[in-house]
Amino acid sequence: MLKPTGLVTLALALARFTNAASPEWGQCGGIGWTGDTTCVSGTVCTVLNAYYSQCLPGASTTSAPPSTSSAPTSTSPASTSSVPAPPAATGFVGVSGQKFTLNGQTFPLVGANSYWVGLMGYSTSDMNKAFSDIAATGATTVRTWGFNDVTTANGIYYQLWQNGKATVNTGSTGLGNFDNVVAAAKANGLRLIVSLTNNWSDYGGMDVYVSQITGTQNHDYFYTNANVIAAYKSYIQTFVGRYKNEPTILAWELANEPRCTGSTGTSTGTCNTATITQWASQISAFIKSIDSNHLVAIGDEGFFNEPSNPSYPYQGSEGIDFNANLNISTLDFGTAHLYPGSWGITSDPTGWGSQWITDHATSGKAVNKPVILEEFGVTDDQASTYTTWYNTIITSGLTGDLIWQAGSHLSAGNTPDDGYTIYPDDPVYPIESQHAAAIKARG
């Protein structure tokens, strides 16, 4: 659950003195935990790992779990095992020049994408296992989806659209479920980058807003139609507002891979780089107006705007001007993706990718902002290609990276495998660990 703040913190502090039990989904134990160790009726305090126990639905309990920490002091509690506790999610990640920072120190941003962790109906124990697998590589950060727009309520969803109006699902199958994602990330010492909508039709995204409100398939109305923009801002107000005081969130992203066209393939024909740059300025400023704690990025693929360049990702034809967007004052860092195969790069895709990384590092240096390669993938020769790209990230000075995508073998079965997925028993997994160590050593 969310880390309580303000009046909620005071209420919980007073509750401890009156032996109040932790609520459903609340924390009830773990190394370093000093709060309530009993759960409300109908729930049981369940150990998810050594550092996090949670009140989960089940038989009621009134007995406290075994103590895992001594009385609170001004220093870190003594560990009860030889395994070091993950870093507590205290303090908000910031930026200084081309570096991310945390509590006055460089924060090494490295990790993976796990879009699925909060969308597949996983148990909290499976969420913890998934994050534990990522953390075991030395990762510090996970990128995930903070959206699922549906027109029929079913399973996990965050926003229900009916007759042109949206209702945010704040229950256990909605934002209550995302609370569990945040809690599991926190328990494993990870920070989250959360994308708030999708350019593509997977899990709803932009085209649901457009079709519900305008009755058309014109994807680019998402960036220009006043009613659509107001609806998106309303969702942001609810979602971002819920977590604005939660330090486990590292950053908000405006969208996953925004482009002038989406899955419908239809637009008005008037969308260009200026359209999306203006939209990015407006939405990022809005997020900053309601949440001054967290960083903001676009979540785009990092396309450049050089129309005469022979290489498609450099031509600006999708409506993205990386350098123009990087100069927006309310965007804290730049993002780039890397998929040579999907982009039609057939001649030396590995070498092309290294140049792509270097060019984005150069852009970051020019404006003195962090830039991360937040998605990248190939389906062939992964070990060789990723080793080369990881080396380029280190030597070019690119700030950090998140591989697409993490995978786990869970009690519910294997997590989604799109051909890019790296499970803990994959040969690339130890390469990720070596790279995380290199990112941290670089400082």
Q: Of 246, 257, 318, 432, which is the active-site residue? A: 257
Question: Which pTM value belongs to this model?
Answer: 0.82
Q: Which residues of 121-142 are buried (b: 16+ CB within 10 A; e: fewer)?
A: ebebbbbbbbbbbbbebbbbbb
In a domain, 2, yes or no: no
In a domain, 159, yes or no: yes
pLDDT at 165: 97
| Overall number of domains in the chain | 1
Question: Which residue has 């879009």 as its token pair?
Answer: 115
Count the alpha carbons within 13 Å of 203 in the hemisphere toward its beta carbon: 22
In a domain, 162, yes or no: yes
pLDDT at 221: 98
Q: Would you say 147 and 254 are in contact if contact means Cβ atoms under 8 Å apart?
A: no
Q: Would you say 334 and 363 are in contact if contact means Cβ atoms under 8 Å apart?
A: yes
Written in H, E and C, the secondary structure of the chain is: CCCCCHHHHHHHHHHHHCCCCECCCCEEECCCCCCCCCECCCEEEEEEECCEEEEEECCCCCCCCCCCCCCCCCCCCCCCCCCCCCCCCCCCCEEECCEEEECCEEECCEEEECCCCCCCCCCHHHHHHHHHHHHCCCCCEEEEECCCEECCCCCCCCEEEECCEEEECCCCCCHHHHHHHHHHHHHCCCEEEEECCECCCCCCCHHHHHHHHHCCCCCCHHHHCHHHHHHHHHHHHHHHHHHCCCCCEEEEECCECCCCCCCCCCCCCCCCHHHHHHHHHHHHHHHHHHCCCCEEECCCCCCCECCCCCCHHHECCCCCCHHHHHCCCCCCCEEEEECCCCCCCCCCHHHHHHHHHHHHHHHHHHHCCCEEEEEECCCCCHHHHHHHHHHHHHHHCCCEEEECCECCEECCEECCCCCCCECCCCCHHHHHHHHHHHHHHHC
Cα distance between residue 211 and residue 217, in whole Å: 6
In a domain, 377, yes or no: yes
Cα distance between residue 175 and residue 190, in whole Å: 19
Q: Residue 293 sits in a domain of what CATH number?
A: 3.20.20.80
pLDDT at 42: 78
Question: Roughly how many angstroms between the first and final C-alpha of the chain, as a whole number?
Answer: 31
Residue 375 appears among annotated catalytic residues? yes
In a domain, 36, yes or no: no
Taken in order 29, 146, 116, 87, is the CA torsion positive or negative? negative
Give the structural domain span for 221.
109-442
Question: For strand 99-102 and strand 52-57, is the pairing parallel, antiparallel, or unpaired?
Answer: unpaired
Give bridge partners of residue 194 from the DSSP assignment. Answer: 144, 252
- What is the residue-level pLDDT of the chain in tens, covering all 443 positions? 233 333 333 333 333 333 467 765 566 776 555 677 888 887 788 775 454 566 665 643 333 333 333 322 222 223 323 334 444 568 999 999 999 999 999 999 999 999 999 999 999 999 999 999 999 999 999 999 999 999 999 999 999 999 999 999 999 999 999 999 999 999 999 999 999 999 999 999 999 999 999 999 999 999 999 999 999 999 999 999 999 999 999 999 999 999 999 999 999 999 999 999 999 999 999 999 999 999 999 999 999 999 999 999 999 999 999 999 999 999 999 999 999 999 999 999 999 999 999 999 999 999 999 999 999 999 999 999 999 999 999 999 999 999 999 999 999 999 999 999 999 999 999 999 999 999 999 98
Q: Would you say 213 and 225 are in contact if contact means Cβ atoms under 8 Å apart?
A: yes
Q: Of 301, 318, 374, 375, which is the active-site residue? A: 375
Residue 253 appears among annotated catalytic residues? no
For residue 105, give Cα distances in angstroms to 4, 197, 216, 441.
25, 31, 49, 13
Q: Would you say 408 and 423 are in contact if contact means Cβ atoms under 8 Å apart?
A: yes
In a domain, 357, yes or no: yes
In a domain, 92, yes or no: no
In a domain, 343, yes or no: yes
Q: Would you say 215 and 271 are in contact if contact means Cβ atoms under 8 Å apart?
A: no
Cis, bond preceding 405 (omega within 30 deg of 0)? yes
